[in-house]
Structure 1
Amino acid sequence: MDLGDQLKNLFPDHVPEDEPNKEKEKPPYWLQEDPIICKYEKRKGKPITILEGYNGADSDFKKLTKDLKTLLGVGGSFKNETILIQGDYRDKIMEFLKKKGFAVKRVGG
């Protein structure tokens, strides 16, 4: 007696689904047509990476900021519709955003 038969004995009214729902996965963030601008600055002698031009909802900003900080293992914040990441991580951030489906434009250096 295999597992399927045992489950049928325990739950005789249950009708198993043939295939799990394989719907297209919804992207975790709102994707936009315009590119996100990725630039580098030094503030008080410390390097930061700035992401501007994303016009999603605040919840999308927070999700994106959290995912970038987790990916890089650094601090950062979201203020005034810009994302600030501590350190110069333009290449890694741009690669991450391109994998997620965003258009990215590098500014400076």
Structure 2
Amino acid sequence: MTALLPAGVSAQDSDSPCPFPGTLCLFEGEDFTGEVFMVQALDPQQGTCVNLPEHGWEGRANSAINTNGITASLFFNEDCDGGPHPIDPHTSVSSLGFHPKSVWVY
């Protein structure tokens, strides 16, 4: 499991496949299965772009859960370029239909 989370973040629901608040979880399999990559901005006021190939996640994300109260965006290209695919606050997508190369999170 890979995580980019600030120190002090703790799980809110250990039964959830994405138990951390304010987090975008990307799953290797559809329907929230397989390995998970969890990411959130170190400064939620600013947000950040995360290039997935830099973290070994190129071509791996197939489903997503956004536990944040702000929309996360997935992109076709690195550097958050290539048209955003939004993941609304507190929602999940069981099959992305494409493999994002970057994500924007708050």
TM score, norm. by length of structure 2: 0.29
Q: Which has the higher helix share?
A: 1
Q: Which has the higher strand share?
A: 2
